[in-house]
C-alpha cells in the first residue's frame, strides 16, 4: 500500500513521526510519502492519507479521500491518559473517531491492564455538572460553531434542564482565549479534571476526551457530538436527570477495546501497530 503523510500543524511531532513510522511501513513492504496539507490538490495522491490532529485542513483531506473511496489514518493525543499524561497516541481510521474498530469486536484486556488505571465505582450521588469543551481546531474539523457560542448555548440548556445545580465550565486546557460564562464556574489550570469530576452528577461534552476521564472516575457522560465515549454515554440533554450508567462489565470491556485504539511510539516504530492497523483496514 502507498501511504502519504500530510503535515498540517507543523509541530515538531509531525517532522519526527515519518522518521520512526516510515521504517515500520517499509518493513511491511508498503511506502510512506510526505507532503503538506496546505498544498493538497483535492485529488487523492495515495491509497491511504495519514494526518496528525483534527482541524479544518485535515478534514478537507479526509473528505476528499473518503469521497474517492480511499482510506485515512489520523493520529493524535491518547484518549486514555493517567493524570493527563500518556506515552501513547490514538489512531483513528476513516475520520475523527475510533468507532469503526472500537466497537467491531471484543479485545483482550492486556493493553488496558498494562496501563494500571483503576476504574472507580460509579458515583451514587452528585451535586454539580461539568461541561467540557474542546479547541476551535476540533470544532472546525467537526463543523461546529465557535467554542464560546456552543459553550454558552449548552450551559444555558443545562441550567434550564437542572435548575439550581452548579455548573463547572472546563475549556480546553491549552486554550488561552476562553471566556467566563454566566451561570457557571470556570475551571482552568492548575485545577485538574479529576478534581472537578469529584462529586459530579455527570459530564456533558461534544467532542472532549474528558468524557473518558469521567468514565474512569465513575461519572456518567453525555456526548452531544462525535466522541469515543459514545458507546457508554448518553446523547441528549433530555437524559441529564438520569444519565446512562453502564454495567461494570461493559465499562471494563469498553476500556479493553479503547486500549487497542492507541499505540506508543515504540509500537508505531517497530511495526506492531502497523500490523494491527493493516488488519483493521482489511476487516472494516
Report pLDDT digits (tens) over 7-16: 998 899 999 9
Contact present, 52 and 76 (Cβ < 8 Å) = yes
pLDDT score, position 176: 62
Q: Say if residue 92 is in the same domain as residue 133.
A: no
Q: What is the CA radius of gyration of the chain?
A: 19
Tens-digit pLDDT profile for residues 151-179: 999 999 999 999 999 999 999 877 667 78
d(CA 25, CA 220): 39
pTM summary value: 0.95
The kind and range of the H/E element at 2 are: strand 2-7
* Measured distance CA(209)–CA(227) in Å, rounded: 7
Four-point Cα dihedral 170, 175, 177, 178, nearest 10: -10
Contact 256, 111 (CB under 8 A): yes
User: Quick check: is 84 in a domain?
Assistant: yes
| Parent domain of 203 | 128-244
Counted domains in the chain: 2
Residues 34 and 132 in one domain: no
β-sheet bridge partners, residue 2: 31
Find the CATH number of the domain harbouring 42: 3.40.50
C-alpha cell of residue 96: 475523527
What is the domain-level CATH number for residue 157?
Answer: 3.40.50.2000
- 85 pLDDT band (50/70/90 cuts)? confident
Cα(230)–Cα(275) distance, rounded to whole angstroms?
A: 26
- Pair 100, 137 in one domain: no
**For 187-216, how does the pLDDT look when each residue is reduced to its tens digit (9 = 90+)?**
998 999 999 999 999 999 999 999 999 999
Q: What CA–CA distance (Å, rounded) separates 235 from 17?
A: 35
The crossing angle, in degrees rounded to 10, of helices 12-27 and 272-283 is 80
Amino acid at each position: 500500500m502507498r501511504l502519504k503523510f500530510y503535515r498540517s500543524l507543523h509541530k515538531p511531532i509531525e517532522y519526527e513521526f515519518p522518521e520512526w513510522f516510515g521504517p515500520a511501513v517499509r518493513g511491511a513492504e508498503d511506502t510512506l510519502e510526505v507532503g503538506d496539507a496546505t498544498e493538497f490538490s483535492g485529488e487523492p495522491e495515495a491509497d491511504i492519507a495519514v494526518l496528525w490532529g483534527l482541524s479544518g485542513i485535515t478534514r478537507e483531506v479526509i473528505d476528499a479521500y473518503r469521497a474517492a473511496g480511499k482510506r485515512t489514518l489520523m493520529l493524535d493525543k491518547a484518549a486514555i491518559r493517567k493524570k493527563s499524561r500518556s506515552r501513547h497516541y490514538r489512531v483513528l481510521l476513516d475520520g475523527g473517531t475510533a468507532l469503526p474498530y472500537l466497537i467491531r469486536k471484543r479485545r483482550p484486556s492486556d493493553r488496558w491492564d498494562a496501563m494500571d488505571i483503576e476504574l472507580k465505582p460509579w458515583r451514587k450521588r452528585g451535586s454539580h455538572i461539568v461541561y467540557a469543551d474542546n479547541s476551535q481546531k476540533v470544532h472546525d474539523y467537526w463543523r461546529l460553531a465557535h467554542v464560546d457560542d456552543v459553550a454558552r448555548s449548552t450551559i444555558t440548556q443545562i441550567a434550564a434542564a437542572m435548575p439550581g445545580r452548579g455548573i463547572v465550565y472546563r475549556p480546553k486546557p491549552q486554550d488561552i482565549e476562553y471566556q467566563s460564562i454566566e451561570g457557571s464556574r470556570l475551571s482552568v489550570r492548575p485545577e485538574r479534571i479529576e478534581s472537578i469530576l469529584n462529586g459530579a452528577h455527570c459530564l456533558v461534552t461534544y467532542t472532549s476526551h474528558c468524557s473518558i476521564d469521567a468514565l474512569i472516575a465513575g461519572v456518567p457522560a453525555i456526548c452531544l457530538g462525535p466522541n469515543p465515549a459514545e458507546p457508554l454515554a448518553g446523547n441528549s440533554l433530555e437524559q441529564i436527570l438520569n444519565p446512562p450508567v453502564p454495567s461494570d462489565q461493559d465499562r471494563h470491556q469498553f476500556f479493553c477495546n479503547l486500549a487497542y485504539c492507541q499505540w506508543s511510539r515504540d509500537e508505531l516504530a517497530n511495526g506492531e501497530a502497523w500490523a494491527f492497523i493493516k488488519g483493521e483496514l482489511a476487516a472494516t
